[in-house]
Amino acid sequence: MSNWIDLNHTSQIDDIKAAEGYSIIFKHSTRCSISAMAKRSFERDQNVIPSEVNFYFLDLINHRDVSAYIAETFQVHHESPQLLLIKDGDCILDASHSDISADEVAEVINA
């Protein structure tokens, strides 16, 4: 299961920032085996996350400008792989590498 919406433009980040509800941004390096492992693990378990959450995927190798804009917009340090949970325009969870967990995302949403 993966219902990723590809992030290709900084304007999409503005839309996420302005949206109500929850969104997930997954920043992925297509050149990194750790990033691939984190993505597979997250996708395997992502069914625990409520279905109304939007899932956004960033290939940061091809869209470095969008990656930099995400860091600036949500006031987070750039990492790869990285998952951001956005609620009503604010980043409420920032995880990277082996700390990326669908279960943790679900816990935060359901709290």
Query: What are the sequence ranges of the domains in the chain?
Result: 4-110
Confidence of residue 100 (pLDDT cuts 50, 70, 90): very high
Mean pLDDT over residues 61-76, rounded? 96
Class of domain 4-110: alpha beta
Mean pLDDT of 94-106: 96
Q: What is the 3-state secondary structure (H, E, C) of the chain?
A: CCCEEECCCHHHHHHHHHCCCEEEEEEECCCCHHHHHHHHHHHHHHHHCCCCCEEEEEECCCCHHHHHHHHHHHCCCCCCCEEEEEECCEEEEEEEHHHCCHHHHHHHHHC
- Structure confidence at residue 1 (pLDDT): 47
Are the beta carbons of 33 and 39 closer than 8 angstroms?
no
Q: Which two tokens stand for residue 82?
A: 């990285």
**Between the CA of residue 52 and those of 20, 32, 49, what are the distances in Å?**
11, 30, 9
Position 43 scores a pLDDT of: 94
* Residue range 13-60, pLDDT digits in tens: 999 999 999 999 999 998 999 999 999 999 999 999 999 999 999 999
Token pair for 19: 């949206």
